Structure formats: C-alpha cells, structure tokens
Amino acid sequence: MKAIRAAAVTLKDNPFEKSVADCLVYHEDALVLVEDGTIAAFGPYAELAPTLPAGADLVEYPDGLMMPGFIDAHVHYPQLEVIGAYGSQLLEWLERYTFPAEQHFADAAHADAVAKLFLRELLRAGTTTAMVYCTVHPQSVEAFFAESVRYNTRMIAGKVLMDRNAPAALLDTAERGYDESDALIRRWHGTGRQLYCVTPRFAPTSTQAQLDAAGALLRAHDGVYLQTHLCENLDEIAWVHELFPERASYLDVYAHTGLVGARSMFGHGIHLHEHDFCTCHQAGAALAHCPTSNLFLGSGLFKLFEAADPVRPVRVGLGTDVGGGTSLSQLQTLNAAYKVAAMAGHKLNAVQAFYLATLGGARSLHLDERLGRLAPGYEADLVVLDPKATPLMAFRNGYCRDIIEQLFMLMVLGDDRAVRATYVAGETVYDRERSGDPFRYAEG
C-alpha cells in the first residue's frame, strides 16, 4: 500500500447546478491510500493515519495541494510542432500549418518521437487523461498508444479520417479508413487503460460515405468513442452548409449518420443554437471547451453557461486544442476560460473551473465512476500542485484567505511550473524534484 499526504481538494458534484458547499471537499491535511492502482481510502490525515499498515510507503508534500489528475477533452498530439505559429483563422491555419505537420507522421520514427514528447509534456502539466487526435496514418496511433501503455495512462485516441478537401498525402478512403480503424480498435481498445475514439476530422474533410463508415464503426464496437469538430468558425459553418445542403444544421450532419451519442465529443461548439444544445443533452453527447485556441484563432466565445444550464445541461470538458491552443497546461486553459466567460457576461468561479478540469471532464467522457475524484474505488490518477512554485505565487499565496482564493490564484498564475508531482494509477510518473530525469515509466 502507498500513502500520499498533502492538503487536498476534490469535487463530488456539479457546481454549475449546486452550491459550492454541496460540491467542494477540502482537507487541509489529507491522506490518500492507494492499493493496486486504486484509491483505497481518502480523508483527513488524523483519521486515516492510524489505519496505515506497517511498512506502507508514505510520501508527504507539506506545501502541496493534491487533487485529481487533469483531463484534457480535446488535443492534437501531431500539432506540437506548430504550437505558437503565427495565427490565422481556422481554415487557413489547417492549410498553412496543420496539414504540413501531419504529413510528417508517415514516418513512424517521427511519430514515436513526438508521442514521447507529448506524453511527457502532458504529465508535466498534471494531465493524466486526454482525448487525442492522431493523424490519418495508423502508425501515429500505434506510437501514441504504445507510449501511453508505458506510463499506464488512461488515454482515448484515434486515427483521423479524411477522404476529401485535404492534401493527397493525408487522404484515405471510406473503405480504407474503416478497415484501418477497425484493426486499431481491435488492437488497442481496452488494452490496459487505452480506449479508442473514431475520429473523422470534421464534416468538410469526410464524404457522406466516410461519415456513414464512422457510424458503422461505432455500431460494430461497443464502448468506443467518437470525436470530431463542430461549429468552431463561421466560414467553416458556411462551408458545411454548402457541402451538405440537405441537412438542417452542422450538428445534423453528424446526427444523420449516428455520430451523436453518449460517448461523442464535439470540439469547440462555439456557434451552437438552443436546438443543438437540446440535441446534445438528449443524446448525452459532450462539448469540449477550448478557450486558448478559440482566442488565438479568433474563432469566438464558447457559451459555457448556456451549455451548462441546469434546465437541460450539456456535458462539457476542457480542451487545450494544441496546436491551435497555446498551452498544454489546464491551469493556463482555465485562465483563458475565466476570461472567455467574463467577456460573455458571466463569472466562472474557481470551483466551477476545477470541476471542468477534473470531475466535469470525466463526466464528459462518461468515465466519472472511475476518474475525476479523490474517493475510494477511483483510479489513483492525481496531481500535486505547488502554490509557491514561483516567487510571485508564493507571495500571493500568503494573502489567500481560503482554499477558493488559492484555487483561483493557481488557475490565474499557475502553469506547468506549479505541478510538483503527477501520479498515474498510484505511480509517480513525474516528480519535479527527482534528480536526473523527472519522468519514469510505470513499467519500471
């Protein structure tokens, strides 16, 4: 048995629907007991310390704040090489940066190298689960899942499907896309902690035949996910209407082929209308809020509080959307989410924000019975934050009057420097203070 001692915070319910008092659990001095990769007990140190078995491995973080590992609902690992490239709007961004970068993944060695860097940078940022776009190349998926297995992270990923409106080197066909995805699902879905996601990039790059094939994949394999993009950019929406004039809306393009369901994640969803929110609510589908990307590309402001309306709530996760997004840090993503909400006339409080990055993210993936909380029976993926990571943070932390102020300070001033350690299934896969390489595979 392993034990981790630090201050701790976790959410037990949805603060967009209930009061902070009904949702937030905070212990100034807490203990998490881990057995076989699962949380066996969680609570105040004074209550649990007497139950520690002799010889238990106890790690203490006197200044740390422990919480569930962050969940990234929308990110493109092949786009690391274009993060921070000079901005343009969505469609130009794809042509100028994304498609050239993704062509490099025809080289399996390149895919391996980028997958290694990407997983390390996620863990450095305290992210333990992500829903990830690979490229059209099957080897990009193989590289990603193989590296995830080494860390034992719970990841969701899939091969991109594109059979039109992209460079020839990135096109498959409806049939080949189906066959390659089917083989990848059989190899990786449910292998260890890996889960597969059928991944048509977005409606303009797939023919109706390919969208139909994506729906067939979902019907053929229980438990697989669907991810794609939706209503990110006004020019994109107009293009979809031109390509699918018979459909009532952008979302209806997907619904028509059975792609709107309980494990469907739609990236962005900025320009949605009430009937779209109702469709997502009824289907149990989720939206990935990607604020740093939406600001960087000038796409618009996501209607977070409209989506989360308790009358017909839509599941919402938080996405970094690298490389359109500007950071893999969910702390920095929350910083941007606060500003997006404020510009739309709302105030996102710290408890709501960290809900999006933890339990809310798990709910958006229908994994909230195993991820997103510090509670017995949950997988022991967690992050330990350092509220004194920089001189300015240390100074500001001294004036925080309560845990809510401290959380807000962390999401405004924090980034990967504020991550002291990251645990995956109870193993310390990243430790900022570890001599030499701060990363360690779970296998060894």
Whether 109 and 6 map to the same domain: the answer is: no
Whether 302 and 353 map to the same domain: the answer is: yes
Whether 50 and 76 map to the same domain: the answer is: no
The parent domain of residue 153 ranges over 70-364
Strands (DSSP E) contained in 262-314 are 264-268, 286-289
Q: What percent of the chain has pLDDT over 70?
A: 100
Strands (DSSP E) contained in 152-211 are 156-158, 160-161, 195-200
SS3 state at 283: helix
Whether 97 and 206 map to the same domain: the answer is: yes
> Within a domain: residue 29?
yes
> Within a domain: residue 441?
no
The pLDDT of residue 280 is: 98
Rounded distance, CA 95 to CA 79, Å? 13
pLDDT digits (tens, 9 = 90+) for 51-60: 998 888 999 9
Please determine, for residue 444, whether its predicted confidence score (pLDDT) is greater than 70: no
Mean pLDDT along residues 351-365: 98
Residue 305 CB-density burial (10 A; 0-12 exposed, 13-18 middle, 19+ buried): middle
- Is the distance from CB of 253 to CB of 230 less than 8 angstroms? no
Q: What percent of the chain has pLDDT over 90?
A: 97
**DSSP string spanning 114-127?**
HHHHHHHHHHHTTE
The pLDDT of residue 91 is: 86
The pLDDT of residue 90 is: 83
pLDDT band for position 93 (cuts 50, 70, 90): confident
pLDDT digits (tens, 9 = 90+) for 190-231: 999 999 999 999 999 999 999 999 999 999 999 999 999 999
pLDDT band for position 86 (cuts 50, 70, 90): very high
> Within a domain: residue 49?
yes
Question: Which of 364, 388, 415 marks a domain boundary?
Answer: 364
CATH of the domain at 167: 3.20.20.140
Rounded distance, CA 1 to CA 37, Å? 9
Question: Which of 364, 392, 411 marks a domain boundary?
Answer: 364
CATH of the domain at 383: 2.30.40.10
pLDDT band for position 87 (cuts 50, 70, 90): confident
Q: What value, to the nearest 5°, has the Cα angle with vertex 225 and ends 23 and 181?
A: 155
Question: Residue 365 gets which letter from DSSP?
Answer: T
The two three-digit tokens of residue 44, written as one number:
């105040």
Mean pLDDT along residues 18-39: 97
pLDDT digits (tens, 9 = 90+) for 126-173: 999 999 999 999 999 999 999 999 999 999 999 999 999 999 999 999
> Within a domain: residue 208?
yes
- Is the distance from CB of 378 to CB of 387 less than 8 angstroms? no
Q: What pTM was estimated for this model as a whole? A: 0.97
Whether 10 and 143 map to the same domain: the answer is: no
Cis peptide before 323 (omega within 30 of 0): yes
Whether 114 and 180 map to the same domain: the answer is: yes
Whether 180 and 321 map to the same domain: the answer is: yes
**DSSP string spanning 38-56?**
EEEEEEEHHHHGGGPPTT-
Number of domains in the chain: 2
- Is the distance from CB of 227 to CB of 214 less than 8 angstroms? no
The pairing of strands 225-230 and 195-200 is parallel
The pLDDT of residue 423 is: 98
Whether 157 and 294 map to the same domain: the answer is: yes
> Within a domain: residue 370?
no
Rounded distance, CA 419 to CA 120, Å? 13
Q: Can you tell me which residue has the tokens 């106890």?
A: 58
The pLDDT of residue 243 is: 98
Across all residues in the chain, what is the average pLDDT? 97
CA atoms within 13 A on the CB side of 269: 33
- Is the distance from CB of 381 to CB of 424 less than 8 angstroms? yes
Whether 395 and 333 map to the same domain: the answer is: no
pLDDT digits (tens, 9 = 90+) for 248-303: 999 999 999 999 999 999 999 999 999 999 999 999 999 999 999 999 999 999 99
Whether 129 and 32 map to the same domain: the answer is: no
Whether 333 and 407 map to the same domain: the answer is: no
SS3 state at 296: helix
- Which residues are CB-contacts of 287 (< 8 A; sequence separation ≥ 6)? 230, 265, 266, 267, 268, 269, 272, 280, 302, 307, 314, 315, 316, 317, 364
The pLDDT of residue 443 is: 66
10 Å Cβ neighbour count for 309?
Answer: 15
Whether 310 and 426 map to the same domain: the answer is: no
